[in-house]
Amino acid sequence: MASVTLTLDGVDALKAMQARLNPAQLAKAQAGGIAYASKAVPVAVAKGITAAYNITSGRVKDDIRKVTFNADRTEARIGFSKRPPTLTQFKPTPGKRSPQRGLGRGMGWAKPSKPGTPVRATLLRGQPRQAFPGAFMVTGASGNAVVLKRKGGKLVGVYGPSIGSIFLGQSRIGPALKAEVERRIGEQFKKGFEREMGRAARGYGR
């Protein structure tokens, strides 16, 4: 599993409350902050990636693993699946094979057959469809289409970029997306923390 650690800003002010809280109140408030922040991560990552890449929000969220925090809640670690989405997730169009050669092909009197077209898919929104030479689409036993190619005498799947590689900076949107998710995690952690503090002040959740 690939992972990234994000540094959270703005939580220092919450530490000042520790001197005025009993351990049970502090633990409950921190748990509330973590719950809020953890829910925000898949939404924020999916929103940023689907704005640039031709993939669904649900598929992006599928590759986001558990969000964990360090002891003082100043850093959050997000895990990502190592396996990238198949090319099928990027809505490819089937290629076309070259037609069978005519009887006169190579004998000087038949027209040459037109070349086939490769499987194509749009990875980045607003960009031309990218060709994948040698790839072809088949329908599996489940009825789902998959994109394959031959490699070393075997059939292997064709994949797009992994969600982790996009987020970890190996893409044009990586740095900006990482900064936005850091901001969102910090914002939601404080919201959840303060919500639990408010509940404790009103006498709830004791």
> Per-residue confidence of the chain (206 residues) as pLDDT tens digits?
667 676 666 555 565 665 566 777 777 888 888 888 888 889 999 999 999 999 999 999 999 987 888 877 777 888 898 889 999 999 999 877 655 555 444 455 555 555 668 899 999 999 999 999 989 988 877 788 889 999 988 999 999 999 999 988 768 899 999 889 888 888 888 888 888 888 766 665 55
Residues whose CB is less than 8 angstroms from the CB of residue 147 and which lie 6 or more positions away in sequence, other chains included: 86, 87, 88, 92, 119, 121, 132, 135, 136, 137, 157, 158
Query: Which amino acid type is present at position 155?
Result: L
Asked whether the beta carbons of 46 and 39 are under 8 A apart, the reply is no
pLDDT of 18: 59
- Spell out a b/e string for 65-84, using b for 16 or more CB atoms within 10 Å of the CB, else e: bebebeeebbbbebbbeeeb
- Amino acid 125: pLDDT: 94
CA 157 to chain centre: 19
Distance CA 185, CA 68 (A): 11
With 0-12 / 13-18 / 19 or more C-beta atoms within 10 angstroms meaning exposed / middle / buried, residue 172 is: exposed
Length of the chain equals 206
Which residue's entry shows tokens 């919500």?
Answer: 195
Closest CA to 53 of 194, 158, 174, 150: 174
Give 7's strand partners. 75
| pTM, 2 dp | 0.76
Strand 2-7 and strand 75-80: the pairing is antiparallel
Q: Please report the pLDDT score of residue 103 as a whole number.
A: 47
Question: CA–CA separation, 186 vs 188, rounded Å?
Answer: 6
What pLDDT shows up at residue 77? 85
